[in-house]
Structure 1
Amino acid sequence: MEKRYVIGIDFGTESGRVVLVDADNGDEIADHETRYAHGVMMERLPGSGKRLEPDWTIQHPGDYLEVLRHSVPQVLRASGVGPGQVVGIGVDFTSCTMLPVDERGTPLCMQDAYRDEPHAYVKLWKHHAAEEESARIDELAAARGETFLGRYGGKGSSEWMLAKIWQTLNEAPHIYETAHRFMEAGDWIVYRLTGNPVRSGCSAGYKAFWHKTDGYPSPSFLKTLDPRLERLAETKLSGEVRPIGTKAGGLTEEAAALTGLLPGTAVAVAVIDAHAGVPGSGAVKPGQMVMAMGTSLCHMMLSDKEAAVEGVRGVVEDGIIPGLYGYEAGQPAVGDLFGWFVGHAVPAYVQESSDGEGISVHVWLEREAARQKPGGHGLLALDWWNGNRSVLAETDLSGLVVGMTLQTKPEDIYRALLEATAFGTRKIIEAFEASGVAMHELFACGGLPRRNRLLMQIFADVTGREIKVAASSQTTALGAAMFGAVAAGSERGGCADIAEAAVRMAKVREETFRPNPEHKAVYDELYREYCRLHDLFGRGGFRVMQELKRIKLEQNG
């Protein structure tokens, strides 16, 4: 029988990557990356250079189409695989990454009339300019006793769809009125591939307050929030919500010409990027947690029961693995935090030393930091450089390092930042356990587990858990490809369900990271102090971080 393959398309923050995967065993045959030409825009619009307001983060949807145009044909050329051998396509995307489109599905920013309108562009997942709208949503939902808020730890986010849509309505009502739909970027890509404007139950569940029984927040709630929003669900959010692991449709003639694949090729419903890493790591059972470790860190927990967990950013039935409750928690700055330090806070001599040795600054710092014992630098940090997602859900919090002296070195601060992210993860794990959601296995995927051994050992030591690392370097794309195999179905050489796909296609590395008992004992002491700092600045009414941000905005407004 002719070999069958599936394609996973992973749209990240800076680029999109396509991976061609053997549908029988999960071997990754070829991959190709396309960087987004416009990148992440935080200061100005392309073309006109119009200045963006603080906390804006946008992208250009044309960059996503270039991934389809360049990377999909490239993996076919590189592998020699024929278009007819590809039986399924899966798409994963950052979320909530949202854009307004017209009735034909064309993004408004790609039309001449709206090229100079910030609200016509894609609002990236880390767009934080809808904080006021998010706070009002939380206040009203709490006052009305809305049940949907409890599924999100009692608090929404400015990163999510409703807050972003309402910001558009408040600041650019003409864009809101012109938009036929507001779509998750992952759903929009599937729309462009299939012609079907279906919505992912994963994205809708975690980022739009959607529930498989209750639907979106009620018209009554939305009308009280803003009378103009009363019919939002039936108009601007129209489109069938389908569970992940189902088929959204087949490739259109236009999409086939764009990608070099055959018309009719099965396309799966989109999935959030981090969530795709769960089956991509082989986790499909209750009690398994997967840490997707990249620019941010997303914690996905699988369970056979639903519980209220402090700071959880969503619990959705069938949201990650069909048949289970999928919980999401997270830390919004991990790789970004280490990158910030390397890019903006190391002295010249570190760069000179690393250049002289022919290694990167990251590698130099990791090596020097690894020579220290836990607690040997005398520092303690809070990892809130991009706010706190779990368990406090407070975007206005900021970073902190305590204990610096005139003897403090760059590698000391670097290690303290690594440790702070591990402490934040332990806080999240303990929140799950306190709510009766047990964790039995811990997996890690993404770029950081493969690049930074010190970080992974610190995570094992701090949490006291063995950490298994996904074998694939493209775990989210592999997970997306696995959903593509399920969309194709076993009769066409795919898989009957995601559990079968995980058995056939997912792998973990033989090497694991096990906690060092001596190190854990020291980290237990440091963690107690971390919790004191965490609660002082996060719960204790000590709002210096928020006040600093307020003053900054006033002075730069």
Structure 2
Amino acid sequence: MTRKYTIGVDFGTESGRVLLVDVMTGEEIATHVTQYKHGVLDEVLPNGKPLQQDWALQHPGDYLDVLYQSVPKVISMAQIDKSHVIGIGIDFTSSTILPLDKLGNPLCFDQKWESNPHSWVKLWKHHAAQGEADEITQLAKEREEEFLSLYGGKISSEWMFPKILQILKEAPEIFEETDLFMEVCDWITSRLTDNLIRSSNTCGYKAFWSKQNGYPEPSFFKALNPRLENILETKMRGAVQSIGEKAGELTEEMAQRLGLLPGTSVAVGIIDAHAGVAAVGAVRPGQFVMAMGTSTCHMLIADKEEKIEGVCGIVEDGIIPGYYSYETGQVAVGDSFAWYVDHAVPSYIVKQAEEAGKSVHQLLEEKASNYKPGQSGLIALDWWNGNRSVLVDANLSGTIVGLTLATKPEEIYRALLESAAFGTRKIIENYTEAGIEVNEIFASGGLPQRNKLLMQIYADITNREIKIPDSNQTTALGAAMYAAVAAGELRGGYNTIFEAAENMAKVKEETFLPIVENVRIYDELYKYYLELHDYFGREKYEIMHGLKKMRSLDNEAE
């Protein structure tokens, strides 16, 4: 029997990864990574023009480089016949959006607009649209819009319409010139197929769309800004299609560029973290998946819909068909650990790591492992890039309490690890208190593979077993699985994501189990975390808001 393959393309924050997978077994045959040449544009544009605080942009050409370089590379590495590749699937960070011209090209490709920051890709962690997000939330509350309850009662600056509204207000000329606003995930599938299709996954979680009601009424957008009244039929046009379906087939031009055959199935795109849900086999109610990297996205499969504070989205058929899929998240996890290592660790720790032939992260993990819970006397809030769940407030910031002249770097590092786990526990309890079961926890992404101390801390703080996927490329594997479903059984794929998960998803036998004594101590520390959480996040949030405003004024003065 001829082996069949699918390709998963995982577009992350710093790079794109392409994975070639055996459809029948889930075996990962070949993988290749292309780093984004321009990285994250958070200080200046490629031409040197400065950016304001809280901006995060990217160069869309970097995404095309991933396709043109890494897809042919995995075919070459695997030495397979391209006719045996039955499908390609795309996953992407979200909400990452870009404005397109009438030819479907990014406006920033045009010299006329390249110096205008609003013509570029707005990355998911672009937080400069917080004011617009608050404006949308306020209007939705005043009008008692039903869609607001599906997003925890508060709109995030990271989503599609706050970013569009910011463009309209700050760069009306860009808004006028834009023919289409699209999630980059959907733009990539349209480039591959020449079909204008929007994903139910990206629209449902990031653009107020629901399977039952579609988008909000035009009257809502008109009330937000008169120029938005017809946006759904103009700049947001395009049929919404369900994940697991086929967005189209590879065009002659793109097939030639990628080294594949024309007519190869292309799956409807999916948010990167969401792709990992199927990849770990979490396709039933009560299964909770943490996609852990620079940030953490939590996905929970449930058989009912409940209105819960701070949920980033509740979408029917959103990730797994037939169920409701909930999303929550923490904006800075790996990013906060990296911040500490890159900017705050003393030079003697760096020297020790170099002498030991280890990374600073590895050295700090080893040193921090020697401490018992609570021994450092520190506790931290995990808000180094704001709070996504459950407070939905990008103006909050990180805090470490308990520092003394005797505090060591590894103690701070451990407190940061613990803060991420405390934030996750708060999110889990938010679900269970609302009557949504959390029965199993899976941790995917780069962090669980690299940091065993972190995962043991998560098990102890949540008092739950943590399962790890048996794959280093979980999101890319998930995208490849949806590609197998889009191709269908007749082409050698699957008819449902449940069939694909049964054959292609894999979890390691080794798990992380809570340690009874650690659980007891962390229960005490968690009470302190909750007090700080509510004090700075609910009662006295003006403190952090005011400090952030002062930073903005200082930047303006410069």
TM-score norm. by structure 1 comes to 0.99
| Aligned pairs for 1:266-305 within 5 A | 266-305=265-304
Aligned counterparts of 1:209 and 1:225: Cα–Cα separation in 2:
14
1: CA distance, partners of 2:541 / 2:333: 24
Quote the residue 1:196 is aligned against: 195
1:447 aligns with 2:443: no
Q: Is the 8 A contact 2:86 2:487 kept in 1?
A: yes
How far does the alpha carbon of each residue in 1:342-366 deviate from its partner, in whole angstroms, 9 at most, with x for none?
0001000000001001000000000
Structure 1: distance between partners of 2:180 and 2:469: 37
Structure 2 match to 1:515: 514
Q: Could you give the per-residue CA deviations for residues 83-118 of structure 1, whole angstroms, max 9, x where no partner exists?
A: 101001110000000001112211111112211111
| 3-state SS of paired residue (1:215) | coil
Displacement of 1:169 in angstroms is: 0.7
1:328-367 → structure 2 map (5 Å cutoff): 328-367=327-366
Aligned position for 2:493: 494
Could you tell me which amino acid in structure 2 is paired with residue 172 of structure 1?
A: A
Distance (Å, rounded) in 2 between the aligned partners of 1:78 and 1:70:
12
The answer as to 2:27 corresponding to 1:27 is yes
Q: Which residue of 1 aligns with 2:229?
A: 230
1:161-207 CA distances to partner (integer Å, 9 max, x unpaired)? 00000111111111111111000000000000000110000000000
Match of 1:384 in 2: 383
* Equivalent residue, structure 1, for 2:462: 463
Q: Distance in 2 between matches of 1:296 and 1:464?
A: 22
Identical amino acids, percent of aligned pairs: 60
1:182 correspondence with 2:196: no
- Match of residue 307 from structure 1: 306
Counterparts of residues 10-49 of structure 1 (less than 5 Å): 10-47=10-47, 49=48
After TM superposition, where is structure 1 displaced by more than 2 Å over at least 4 residues in a row? none
**Distance in 2 separating the partners of 1:52 and 1:395:** 18
Taking the TM superposition and a 5 Å limit, the aligned residue runs for 1:521-536 are 521-536=520-535
Match of 1:6 in 2: 6
* 1:431 aligns to 2:430 (yes or no): yes
Report if the CA contact (8 A) 2:396-2:541 is conserved.
no
- Between 216-225 and 145-154, the greater mean CA deviation after superposition: 216-225
Structure 1 position 310, deviation (Å): 1.5
In structure 2, C-alpha distance between the alignment counterparts of 1:255 and 1:373, rounded to whole Å: 55
Structure 1 SS opposite 2:112: helix
Q: Could you say if the C-alpha distance between residues 292 and 542 of structure 1 is closer, same or farther in structure 2, counting changes exceeding 3 Å?
A: closer
Partner in structure 2 of residue 240 of structure 1? 239
Q: How far apart are 1:52 and its partner, in Å? A: 1.1
Structure-2-length-normalised TM-score: 0.99
Structure 1 stretches of 5 or more lacking a match? none
- Rounded to whole Å, the distance in 1 between the matches of 2:54 and 2:257 is 35
Q: Secondary structure at the match of 1:112?
A: coil
One-letter identity of the residue aligned with 1:117? N
2:203 corresponds to which letter in structure 1? A
Deviation at 1:491, TM superposition (A): 0.7
Instruction: Name the amino acid aligned to 1:322.
Output: P
Q: 2:67 maps to what in 1?
A: 68
Residue matched to 2:261: 262
CA–CA separation in structure 1 for the residues paired with 2:157 and 2:525: 32
Q: Which moved further from structure 2: 474-483 or 215-224? A: 215-224
Unaligned runs of 5+ in 2: none
Matched residues in 2 for 1:127 and 1:140: separation?
22
* Residue aligning to 1:111: 110
RMSD between aligned residues: 0.6
**After superposition, what is the alpha-carbon deviation per residue over 1:9-63, rounded to whole angstroms, capped at 9, x for unaligned?**
000000000000000000000000000001100111112x111121111001000
1:542 deviates by 4.4
| 2: CA distance, partners of 1:139 / 1:96 | 21
Query: Does structure 1 residue 83 correspond to structure 2 residue 79?
Result: no
* Correspondence for 1:154: 153
Superposition deviation, residue 479 in structure 1: 0.2
| Equivalent position amino acid for 1:218 in 2 | E
Deviation, 1:541, is 3.0
Q: Which position in structure 2 is the counterpart of 1:209?
A: 208
C-alpha separation between the residues in 1 aligned to 2:131 and 2:392?
Answer: 14
Distance 2:215 2:51 in 1: 30
- The count of aligned residue pairs is 556
What is the identity, as a one-letter code, of the residue corresponding to 1:472? S
Alignment check: 8 A CA contact 2:210 2:315 kept: yes
Q: Which amino acid aligns with 1:276?
A: A
Question: How many angstroms apart in 2 are the aligned matches of 1:372 and 1:81?
Answer: 50
User: Once the 2 structures are TM-superposed, how far is the Cα of residue 213 of structure 1 from its aligned partner?
Assistant: 2.2
What CA distance in whole angstroms lies between the structure 2 residues aligned with 1:43 and 1:163?
A: 21
Looking at structure 2, the residues matched to 118 and 324 of structure 1 have their Cα atoms a distance apart, in angstroms, of: 39
In 1, the alpha carbon distance for the partners of 2:209 and 2:102 equals 23
- Pair 1:417-2:383 in alignment: no
